[in-house]
Amino acid sequence: MHITSLSDPAIPGADEDAAGALGEVAVVLDGAGLPARFRAGCRHGVAWFSHSLAARLLARAQDPSLSLADALGAAIGEVRALHEHDCDLSAGSPSATVVAVRRAGDRLEHLVLCDASLLLEGRDGRVTRITDRRVEAVVRHERGAEAIEARRNAPGGFWVARHEPEAAQKALTGSVPLADLAAAHLVSDGITRAVELLGLHDDTSLSRALSEDPRAVIRGIRRAEDGLDPHRAPRKRHDDATVLTLRP
């Protein structure tokens, strides 16, 4: 597979996204930039968590006998073991969204957890987006950050990679024939805000633009973020933006 990757941090030198490829596996993780009070039990930063988990997921997913969900669960357990004796994880810890793919024979396996996304661009021109929408449902129905946080990695809430290995089993998983694909884009939500927040693209035009020139896509996102009404802008006017593209 031909692989390209591009990441543009919201703050230079402080990228909480992590992307990488090893063998037949590729991953993008988006460290959740939560207020410090929701990760007060841990002395480690969000970037440390997302990069540590990405490295271990890439390694674990090399074992074809493990599903991607099992590989993610094992990787979460490994990262937990790195700091559970030094940190009070029950008082809050860093977390990350995950999108991962693995070539398995003539198919591309995928896993998506929380609001990172996978854009599958078919050879017929159709684009399929896979995004875990449970966090959006929680945000729509809950008032206040504390109420939303209480439903993180909880039944009936939403799931994200944190310190609970069982969260991996809640991920969206599946596979598609490689012969049907022109490209697969693994993206953090700093990229897909071009659709939901900024109105620059729909899923199809975003996928095609990423295939043509991902740098131009990110430049367009940054210009649009700068032009947001300050009274309607989200908590993070700018977000880390990462795309990893595979072409079979």
* 248 residues of the chain, pLDDT tens digit each: 899 999 999 988 889 999 999 999 999 999 986 666 777 788 898 999 999 999 999 999 999 999 999 999 999 999 999 999 999 998 888 999 999 999 999 999 999 999 999 999 999 999 999 999 999 889 888 877 888 888 989 999 999 999 999 999 999 999 999 999 999 999 999 999 999 999 999 999 999 999 999 999 999 999 999 999 887 777 788 999 999 999 98
Is 191 strand, coil or helix? helix
How many Cβ atoms from other residues are within 10 Å of residue 4's Cβ? 15
CATH superfamily of 2-118+131-187+243-247: PPM-type phosphatase domain (3.60.40.10)
Angle at 185 between CA 179 and CA 188, to 5 degrees: 155
pTM above 0.75, yes or no: yes
CB 31, CB 6: distance < 8 Å: no
**pLDDT for the residue 34:** 67
Instruction: Give the pLDDT confidence of 148-175 residue by residue, as tens digits.
Output: 888 989 999 999 999 999 999 999 999 9
- Non-local (6+) Cβ contacts of 146 within 8 A are none
**pLDDT for the residue 69:** 98
- Domains of the chain: which residue ranges? 2-118+131-187+243-247
**pLDDT for the residue 121:** 98
Instruction: List the structure tokens of 55.
Output: 């490295």
**pLDDT for the residue 148:** 85
**pLDDT for the residue 145:** 81
Largest CA distance in the chain: 52
pLDDT averaged over every residue in the chain: 94
- Non-local (6+) Cβ contacts of 20 within 8 A are 5, 26, 27, 54, 55, 58, 244
Angle at 126 between CA 123 and CA 129, to 5 degrees: 115
* Edge-to-edge strands, sheet with 181-187: 2-8, 241-247, 181-187, 117-122, 127-131
Give CA–CA dist 174/117, Å, rounded: 13
CB 89, CB 41: distance < 8 Å: yes
